Structure 1
Amino acid sequence: MNSSLLPVLPPAPARLLAATSLPVHTPAGLVGDTPLLWVGEPFTPAGRGFWAKLEGHNPGGIKDRTALYMVARARERGDLLPGAPIVESTSGTLGLGLALAGVTFGHPVTVVTDPGMETMMTGLLTAYGADVQSVTRPHSTGGWQQARRERVGELLAARPDAWCPDQYHNPDNVAAYRPLAHELIAQLGRIDALVVSVGTGGHSAGIAHVLRGYFPDLRVTGVDTTGSTIFGQPAAPRLMRGLGSSIYPRNVDYTLFDEVHWVAAPEAVWAARALARDHYATGGWSVGAVALAARWLAGQLPAEARIAAVFPDGPQRYTTTVFDDAYCREHHLLGHQPADAPEEIGFPGERTVTRWTRCTTVTDPLASTAPLGADATGCDLAEAAR
């Protein structure tokens, strides 16, 4: 009998199910266990590369993790009562996470943003049931970020039952990223270096603290944007969103960093576009900046070093900015291939940086003595109003 005519039997059902994700009953179950992708040449030098943790595979990005965790802990403590509103400032990604948490736990969500929010993000947040409010003018010293936070304070004062996650200072924002660190260990086994963007300080502190406990010699590289005050540079207008700050988030753990890299917007755009072209995996401002620093680090460390770079989100929200030629031409972002290596400064206040620059002296700009009101939160402002 001709064996080629025999029917091919499918594998047993148990074998079919073994390699698939389990069904989930709530959208929160879609968060976590994100993939890890090797990024090598042609983006990196031959024989060198790094591992990219693709947090864009979460429904809304990396901040789905912290939004769900902060909301769950607040409910456990009784800080957030059943059905009470959630109010927070966001440049976008946390808003998506809070909308997810609102659907999961049954809370109305109001997010305060500014005119820099992409139209697509506003549409998505609205579709997911969030009330999106936008401030119209920047704060005189704290920029759009402080203006958003002051508006949060006003909303909280008007709604005594409302709760503010205060992502910039909430320690739950740090604790939320322990599972991500554990995923990295399970995926890589050994990690020699970590490259992370820094904004609220949550995922950089949460991941690095856990990894340093397992790997004491871990090298941690923080990535910021030019014009950000986090690591001691003077405040300046910032085009990039999702990393950097014009205030001093207390969740940033300066003791964990071996070095900081500041990256300018044109350099991040170049890296994000090169990643898309070469590896079909990319994201926006933060991803481009992180990839640029990780690319350089891969050329500095031994070829066998295992470098983990966290990509906070994917490219979708950036189709009208980072990946839009008209937008990039308007803001002079094209045609600026970065240098092969960053400039170096000896300490953060040595001079104002305007391009990719590295510093191995990392200290807290406030030296643990923040002046009164210097980084007041929206929640603080609400308490004062009450």
Structure 2
Amino acid sequence: MNFTLLERFSPGAHVPRGARNPAQLVGNTPVLWITEPFAADGRGFFAKLEGANPGGIKDRPGLHMIREARRRGDLLPGAPVVESSSGTLGLGLALAGMTYGHPVTVVSDPGMEPAMVRLLTAYGATVDQVSAPHPRGGWQQARRERVAELLAGAPGAYCPDQYHNPDNVAAYRPLALELIAQLGRVDVLVAAVGTGGHSAGIARVLREAFPGLRLIGVDTVGSTIFGQPALPRLMRGLGSSIHPANVDYPAFDEVHWVAPSEAVWACRQLARRHYASGGWSVGAVALVAGWAARTLPPGTRVATVFPDGPHRYLETVFSDAWCHEHQLLGQEAPREPDEIAEPGERTVAAWTRCAKVRDPLGGDRAAEPAKAVTR
């Protein structure tokens, strides 16, 4: 039967409605089945492609934290928003600032890619870069202290404080509900951990539906979140040199640390085999999710989240020259992780798994570096 264009796109057809503003484009992201080279023989994992959002996964908390702050009266109409970010939350806040009418300043450091600086500026945000790391808390604590300085000089300004704000966690409830609707069942969630927001928020909702859910955290070598010593880190978007309060330590069943060369290998394999890739977090979670798909019993439904797409990383992860300079090419990632029995047993430098997860501060958040003033 022949159909005219008018018949095919009649008012009764299921055609997505046009968005009235860019914030309406956030959410309902697709899920893609990933197999080789991460898993074979009919096994694989489902990846939630959050790079399909206008700016990436942190469009969700960017919009939610600002909306909730306005609802509570913590953020008055037109008041400035100031926050520390390595990039992706900056995009989410730029979108929120555009949506709700707030000027946005993103405090970052020299590790932010020039393309990200240009993109944030194009979206109307101001980028303020610190010049030296904090002696104990590294770049993150240096950025947070700069945020406090800017807040002190701008009465009425607001900092969402993504590291400690429970609204960051709550923002991921819709993502979890989308996964349930798309997959029907999730047995294992593999999640990168940075601020702790999306791992805590998604797992909490999934466990309401699937109490037996297994949560695997993915961190980077050199990160202090799960009890390793804080060291200089090449990978951005996951890991931390401070201890974010949003990390839900009891929720994790195990943690894996991944090295930069291993994440680069995974990112490039994803691009070549599946036309879906991203940055450091994407490569790291793909490596671990593939391992889970290979080693857990057949029929186990493994899901993970790809927080962004590849475009931000064209001059790093996907640049041969840059990767050669940092000695990240020339070797395939191992098929299995090394293992340690205790999180602080030794300093890890390559993909390593630990089945014991605990809060390195022992629940004593008074030992944390001082938080930035948020109002």
Per-residue CA deviation, residues 312-335 of structure 1 (Å, 9 max, x unaligned), is: 000000000000011101111111
Q: CA deviation at 1:337?
A: 1.3
Q: CA deviation at 1:253?
A: 0.3
The answer to whether structure 1 residue 243 and structure 2 residue 238 are counterparts is: yes
Matches within 5 A, 1:162-241: 162-241=157-236
The farther-off stretch of 52-61 and 297-306 is 297-306
Residue 153 of structure 1 corresponds to which residue in structure 2?
Answer: 148
- Read off the aligned partner of 2:18 and give its amino acid letter: P
Please report the TM-score for the alignment, with normalisation by the length of structure 2: 0.97
- Read off the aligned partner of 1:181 and give its amino acid letter: A
Give structure 1 regions of 4+ aligned residues with deviation exceeding 4 angstroms. 13-17
Residue 289 of structure 2 corresponds to which residue in structure 1?
Answer: 294
Q: CA deviation at 1:185?
A: 0.1
Per-residue CA deviation, residues 324-371 of structure 1 (Å, 9 max, x unaligned), is: 011101111111311110011111011110000001100111111134
Per-residue CA deviation, residues 238-294 of structure 1 (Å, 9 max, x unaligned), is: 000000000000000011110100000000000000110110000000000000000
Residue 266 of structure 2 corresponds to which residue in structure 1?
Answer: 271
| Distance in 2 between residues matched to 1:17 and 1:156, nearest whole Å | 52
**Contact 1:55–1:310 at 8 Å: present in 2 too?**
yes
Matches within 5 A, 1:24-63: 24-63=19-58
Helix, strand or coil at the partner of 2:206: helix
Please report the TM-score for the alignment, with normalisation by the length of structure 1: 0.94
Q: CA deviation at 1:14?
A: 6.2
Number of aligned pairs? 375
Residue 321 of structure 1 corresponds to which residue in structure 2?
Answer: 316
**Unmatched tracts of structure 2, length 5 or more:** none
| Distance in 1 between residues matched to 2:13 and 2:198, nearest whole Å | 31
| Distance in 2 between residues matched to 1:65 and 1:250, nearest whole Å | 19
- Read off the aligned partner of 1:379 and give its amino acid letter: V
Residue 23 of structure 1 corresponds to which residue in structure 2?
Answer: 18
| Distance in 2 between residues matched to 1:15 and 1:318, nearest whole Å | 41
The answer to whether structure 1 residue 379 and structure 2 residue 373 are counterparts is: yes
- Read off the aligned partner of 1:126 and give its amino acid letter: T
| Distance in 1 between residues matched to 2:50 and 2:362, nearest whole Å | 32
**Contact 1:43–1:275 at 8 Å: present in 2 too?**
no
| Distance in 2 between residues matched to 1:151 and 1:8, nearest whole Å | 61
Pair 40,18 (structure 1): closer, same or farther in 2 beyond 3 Å: farther
| Distance in 1 between residues matched to 2:308 and 2:232, nearest whole Å | 23
Q: CA deviation at 1:8?
A: 4.6
- Read off the aligned partner of 1:117 and give its amino acid letter: M
The farther-off stretch of 175-184 and 22-31 is 22-31
Helix, strand or coil at the partner of 2:15: coil
| Distance in 1 between residues matched to 2:4 and 2:162, nearest whole Å | 53
Matches within 5 A, 1:62-141: 62-141=57-136
| Distance in 1 between residues matched to 2:317 and 2:347, nearest whole Å | 24
